Amino acid sequence: MLPLPDGGQVSLDWCPPLAQKPLDNTPTLVCLHGLTGGSHESYIRGLLEVVTRPPFNYRGVVFNARGCGNTELTTPQLFNGAHTDDLRLVLKHIQKQLPEGTPLIGIGYSLGSNILVKYLGEEGDKTPFKAAISVANPFDFVNSSYALDRTYWIRKVYSGTMASNLKRAFSRHTEMLAKNKDMDLDQVNASTTIREFDDACTRKVFGYTTVNNYYRDASSCRFIEHVRVPLLCFNALDDPISPAESIPYDEIRINPYVVLATTDYGGHIGWFEHFRQPTRWIVKPLAEFVVAMFEAHDPRPKGSRLDPDTIDKSVDAIQAQE
């Protein structure tokens, strides 16, 4: 548990557990989850179960945001897509825990990827990350919010589901969040889309005059051209939550630090293969990028380098065990 200066707290899950792998200069992957998520999410566990085992043997740490991952909320504030200060504090804590020079890579999924990219753009070359990965980033919150309201099906299935998840998260911390006098609990509970929830709750908690002003401030498309570490952005063009028209192609094109990889299909953090025992094939290219970046900065004695074919076969073998 990491206490924050304003009285809030977040939690960090280390993988492998510190009792099993004491802190040393093992290259470390810092993971940011999606909306109302946490270290329990299959997309996080699916990558960490691979890169923390042989032949990779890296370390992972998951940053569970305020009120997420069974973390008790201690102030009337959750987290949002624009709020990057908690990540800065988490990184300072991680750096203090690990020996100086330990390589760090950041990976964020969905809302977490937006927070990560916004932070990277704000920090430029001042970030401790050697590289980063953005997966299923919505990039442009205004456009994404309109896309989620565009059809009845998307509004009910996707936006409605996210609103329900947010309301469940809110209900776990109602007593604390109700201390914010600007909050109308009936309006929060009546919200049926993510935009309605953000209007009733998120913008008020963080002092935005309109929900669109919050969305504009949060959109990482405004910051990606200022990223100054290698950044891989991975998006599916059929993603209903992070739509293709929100991808900042022009800003990515002018930034030599950013590589954009898109697939025709994959949905929102999907990219599944196999029918009987589905696994995420995206783990393979993500692991290849992680290995390439860590091998460039690993302070440990140099061993044999892992080529892409070996990485892919290792991912298959580990996923088969699971």
Task: Give me the average pLDDT of each 10-residue run along the chain (322 residues).
Answer: 96 96 96 96 97 96 95 92 97 97 97 98 98 98 93 87 91 90 91 94 94 98 98 97 96 98 97 92 98 92 86 96 83
For 203-214, the pLDDT digits (tens) are 999 999 999 999
Domain boundaries, the chain: 2-140+220-321, 145-218
The pLDDT of residue 260: 98
Q: How many CA atoms lie within 13 A of 135 on its CB side?
A: 25
The pLDDT of residue 130: 98
The pLDDT of residue 225: 98
What whole-number distance in Å separates Cα of residue 297 and Cα of residue 285?
A: 19
The pLDDT of residue 181: 86
What whole-number distance in Å separates Cα of residue 180 and Cα of residue 138?
A: 28
For 107-125, the pLDDT digits (tens) are 999 999 999 999 999 999 9
DSSP conformational letter for 181: T
Residue from 27, 16, 22 nearest 53 by CA:
16
The pLDDT of residue 292: 97
For 267-320, the pLDDT digits (tens) are 999 999 998 889 999 999 999 999 999 999 988 877 778 999 999 999 999 999
The pLDDT of residue 40: 96
Q: Which residues contact 7 (CB under 8 A, 6 or more apart)?
A: 74, 75
Cα three-residue angle 56-60-64, rounded to 5 degrees: 160
Tell me the two tokens of residue 315: 């991912």
3-class DSSP assignment, residue 3: strand
Quickly list DSSP for 13-44. EEES-TTTS-S-S--EEEEE--TT--TT-HHH
Tell me the two tokens of residue 53: 């085992």
What whole-number distance in Å separates Cα of residue 87 and Cα of residue 65?
A: 9
Tell me the two tokens of residue 32: 């940011």
pTM (2 d.p.): 0.96
Catalytic residue positions, numbered: 110, 239, 268
Q: Are 124 and 159 in contact (CB under 8 A)?
A: no
How many beta carbons lie within 10 A of that of residue 160, not counting itself? Answer: 17
Tell me the two tokens of residue 184: 């109308």
Instruction: Pick one of 3.40.50.1820, 3.30.465.10, 3.10.129.10, 3.40.1710.10 as the CATH number of 2-140+220-321.
Output: 3.40.50.1820
Cα three-residue angle 151-153-155, rounded to 5 degrees: 65
What whole-number distance in Å separates Cα of residue 118 and Cα of residue 221?
A: 8
The pLDDT of residue 300: 80
Residue from 139, 71, 130, 70 nearest 102 by CA:
130
What whole-number distance in Å separates Cα of residue 142 and Cα of residue 198?
A: 12
Q: Are 151 and 257 in contact (CB under 8 A)?
A: no
